[in-house]
A and B are shown apart, each in its own frame.
Chain A
Amino acid sequence: MNQPGPVIFQGRRFNKWVKLGVPALGLGLFWFLNHEVPLLFTSLVISCGFYYMLNPVVDFLETRHLNRAVASIMVLIGITCVMYLIWLRFVAFGMDLRDRVDLDAFQKNMVNKVEGVMIWAQAKAPMLKRWIEPEIQVKEKPAAIKKTGKPSPVVEDVQSESIRRRVFLEEKLSGFLKKLVVEQGPELARTLAGLVPNLILIPYFTFFFLKDGRKFKKTIIAWIPNQYFEPALKFFYEIGRRMRSYLQSMLLDCTLVGLLVGVGSAMVGAPYPVVFGLIAFALNSIPLLGPLAYGVTCLAITIGAGKPSDVILGFIGVFFVSRICDDLIFVPTIYGKSHHMHPVLVICAVLLGESVAGIWGMFLAIPIISILFLGVGIIREISQGEEPVPLPSSASPPFA
C-alpha cells in the first residue's frame, strides 16, 4: 500500500493563477480583516514586526541559559524603558515649545522668513514677480495704508507694497494655521487616541509571540499533511527569513537616517536636534511621504523658533544630505536590490494603505506588499523545484 510521497507543485499550470491569485487574495484578506477587526488586525501585524526584530535578542538571551519567558520579559522591559525615555524627551520638547513659542511669534517668524525669501526671489528672478504679485494685488488696500498720510507717491508705493505683502502673508498663514488647528486638530487627536488600545495590545501580543513563537509555528506546521510538509516548511522559512531581513534592514536604515538628521541638526545649530532625529527615525519608514513629512515638520519648527536664516539653510542642507545618503548609500547597501519596488507602486501602496487602515496603513503598506510579492516568488521557486546538482567531471569515489 503505497501512499503518494511529498508533492512538488507542478510548475506552469500552478503559476498562472498564483501570479494574480495570491496577491489578490492577500489584499482581499487584508481589507476584510482590517474592516472587520481593525484593532486586532493592526495589533497582530505590528506585533509580528516587533517579533521579527526582537527575536534574535531573545534567542541570544536564551543561549545564556535563560528561560524564554524571562528573556522575553527582559527584552520588553528594555524596549519599554527606551520608549519611556523617548516619551520623556517628547514631553520635555512639548513643554519647551509651549513655554517658548507662542502662535503669534511663530506666525511672525514665518511671515518674516517667507517675505525674505519672496524679496530675494523677486530680486534674483524678476519673472517670479509676475507670478507672485497678481495674487497679492487682488487684496484690498489695508486700513494701515490709509492712516499713513501722503509723504510722496514713490514712498507710498514702496510702503504699501511691503505692507500689502505682509498683510497677505499673515492672512494666508493665519488661515492655514486656523484650518490646521480647528479642522485637523480634533481629527489628529482622535487618530492618536485611537492608537492607545494598540499601544496596550502590541506589547501583550509581542510578549507571547516572543515567548511561544516557535510553538505557534510548530503547531501550525504540524497540521500540514505529510505530503505537503516539506514545500510548506520551505515556504514558511523563506517568508520568515526575508521578512526578518526586511524589518531589520528597515530598522537599521531608519536609525542611520535618524542619527544623521539628529547630528546634522546639532551641527548646524537647529533647535531640538534629538527630537528631530527621533522624528526622522519614526517617519523615514514611510516611503516618499515620510521624508517629506519629517523635513517639513522640522523646518517649520526651526523657522517657528526664530532661528536665523543660516541655521534654516543649514537644516535644509542636512535634510538634502540625509536624503542623498539614504537613497544612494543606505538603501542600496542595506536592503540590496531584492527589495526594490517601482516608485509608482510605492506611492500607490502608501496611499492605498492610508485609505484602508489610516496611519498604521501607511507604515504597513510596503511590508505587506513586499510579503505578498515574496510569497508569489517563493511559491514560484518551489513550484519549479531545485536544479539537480550535477556531478563534476572529476568526481570519483573516495580512495582513502
Chain B
Amino acid sequence: MPTSPNENGSPRVLAVARKLPVLSMLFRRLDPRQEEILSLLRRTSLFADLSESELIELLHLLHERTFVQGETIFSEGEPGLGLYVIFKGAVEIGKLDQGGRGRLAQLRSGDVFGEVSFLDGSGRSATATASVRTELIGFYRTELMDLLERKPVLASKILFSMARQMGTRMRAMLQMIQP
C-alpha cells in the first residue's frame, strides 16, 4: 500500500481517503474564500516552500483586514507586530524625509511588506497607505510565537524563508547604493 507523501506533503493513503464520500467527512475541508487565500499564499515567495498541510496550518493563523482608500496601515516609527500580504488592491510605501513624504514603492497583489518590524519588534521603518480599497492578509508576531511553541519546524521554515528574502532585498539595496 503506498504511504509515501505526495507532492502536497500528505500521505497518499490519506489523499485517497479524502476522495471517498464517507471518509472525506473525517478530513479537513476549506471554504472557497480559504481556498482563494491558500492559492495566494502558494504564489507568495515567502511561503512558497511550505507544503500543503503547512499552508493550511498557516491559514488558520492569518487575519483578514480591509482598509479603505487612503487609510494608513501603519505609520513610520510605530512599533509593529505584523507583516502583510496584499490579497486585493494596492499599497503605497512611503518614508518621511526633510522635504515631506517620499514614495518608496507601490505594491500589488501577492506582495509582502512589514517584515522588518515583524521580526525585531522595533518601530516601522516606513509608512504604508492603502492606495485603493485594499484587502490584506495579516500574519502577526504573536501567532508566530504561538507557532514556535506548537510547531517549531513550520515556524523555523517561515523564519528561514523570511531571512532569505531579507538577504535578497539587502543585496538588491547594496547594488542600488554602490556606484
- Listed in ascending order, the chain A residues whose CB lies under 8 Å from chain B are 1-6, 8, 56, 59, 62-63, 65-68, 70, 214, 218, 221-222, 226, 229-230, 233-234, 237-238, 241, 385-386, 388-389, 397-398
A398 to B75, Cβ gap below 8 A? no
From the candidates A5, A67, A221, A233, name the one contacting B75 in the complex (CB within 8 A): A5
What separation, in Å, do the CA atoms of A70 and B74 have in the docked complex? 40
In the bound complex, how far is the Cα of B171 from the Cα of A241, in angstroms?
38
**Once the chains bind, are B122 and A63 in contact (CB under 8 Å)?**
no
Q: Which residues does chain B contribute within 8 Å of A8, judged by CB atoms?
A: 78-79
Hey, which chain A residues are within 8 Å of B27, CB to CB? 65-67
Interface residue count for B (Cβ, 8 Å)? Answer: 46
Q: List 26 A-B contacts (CB under 8 A).
A: A1-B69, A1-B70, A2-B70, A2-B129, A3-B68, A5-B127, A6-B80, A59-B150, A65-B11, A67-B26, A68-B28, A214-B60, A229-B138, A230-B81, A230-B140, A233-B63, A233-B82, A233-B140, A233-B142, A234-B142, A237-B143, A237-B146, A238-B142, A398-B167, A398-B171, A398-B174
Residues on B with C-beta less than 8 A from A1 are 69-70
Within B48-70, which residues are at the interface with A (CB < 8 Å)?
53, 57, 60, 63-65, 67-70
CA distance in complex: A38, B27 (Å): 37
Contact A65 B74 (CB under 8 A): no
With the chains together, A67 CA to B23 CA distance in Å? 11
Q: Tell me, yes or no, whether B121 is within 8 Å of chain A by CB.
A: yes
Residues B123 and A5 in contact, CB atoms below 8 Å apart: no
CA A103 to CA B137, docked complex, whole Å: 69
Partner of A233 from B73, B74, B81, B123 at Cβ < 8 Å = B81
Contact at A3–B72, with CB atoms within 8 Å?
Answer: yes
B123 touches A398 (CB 8 A): no
CB contacts (< 8 Å) of B79 on chain A: these are 8, 385-386
Whether B70 contacts A3 by the Cβ 8 Å rule is: yes
Question: Does chain A have a CB within 8 A of B71?
Answer: yes
Task: Kindly state the separation between the CA atoms of A397 and B173 in the bound complex, as whole angstroms.
Answer: 10
B150 and A3 form a contact (CB under 8 A): no
A398 and B78 form a contact (CB under 8 A): no
B35 at the interface (CB under 8 A from A): no
Chain A residue nearest to B149 (CB atoms) is A241
Shortest C-beta distance, B140 to chain A (Å), equals 6
Chain B contacts of A237 at CB under 8 A? 142-143, 145-146
Within 8 A of A (CB), among B128-179: 129, 138, 140, 142-143, 145-146, 150-151, 167, 170-171, 174
What residue of chain A has the Cβ atom nearest to residue B154's Cβ? A63
| A68 CA to B73 CA, complexed, in Å | 33
Interfacial chain B residues near A388, Cβ < 8 Å: 122-123
Choose from B11, B25, B80, B82 the contact partner of A67 (Cβ within 8 Å): B25
Q: With A3-B70, A388-B123 known to touch, is A65 a contact of B78 (CB < 8 Å)?
A: no
> Is the Cβ of A67 less than 8 Å from the Cβ of B78?
no
CB distance from B154 to the nearest CB of A (A): 9
Residue numbers in A under 8 Å from B60 (CB-CB): 214
How distant is the Cα of A59 from the Cα of B28 in the complex, in angstroms?
13
Nearest Cβ on chain B to A264's Cβ, whole angstroms: 34
Query: Would B53 and A65 count as touching, CB distance under 8 A?
Result: yes
When A2-B129, A66-B26, A233-B142 are in contact, do A226 and B81 touch as well, CB less than 8 Å?
no
Of B57, B81, B145, B146, which contacts A63 at CB under 8 A?
B57
Q: Is B10 engaged at the interface, CB distance under 8 Å to the other chain?
A: yes
In contact, A389 and B122 (Cβ under 8 angstroms): yes
5 A-B pairs closest in CB distance? A5-B75, A237-B142, A1-B70, A3-B71, A5-B72
Within the complex, the shortest CB–CB distance from A18 to chain B, in Å, comes to: 19
> Given the complex, which residues of A lie within 8 Å of B80, measured CB to CB?
6, 230
B120 within 8 A of A: yes
B63 proximity list for chain A (CB < 8 A)? 218, 221-222, 229, 233
Per the bound structure, the CA–CA distance linking A254 and B65 in Å amounts to: 42
Contact indicator A241/B140 (Cβ below 8 Å):
no
B72-A2 in contact (CB<8A):
yes
